Amino acid sequence: MGLDLRLPIGLYFTLLGVMLGAYGLITYADAKMYKCSLDMNINLGWGGVLLVFGLAMLIPSLIDRKKNAAK
pLDDT in tens, 13-23: 999 999 999 99
The number of angstroms, rounded, from the C-alpha of 60 to the middle of its chain's C-alpha atoms is: 15
CA distance 38 to 63: 41
Tens digits of residue pLDDT in 42-54: 999 999 999 999 9
Q: Count structural domains, the chain.
A: 1
Q: What is the pTM of this model?
A: 0.86
- On whether residue 34 sits in a domain, the answer given is yes
- On whether residue 1 sits in a domain, the answer given is no
What is the dihedral sign for C-alpha 3, 60, 53, 19? negative
* Domain extent for 19: 6-70
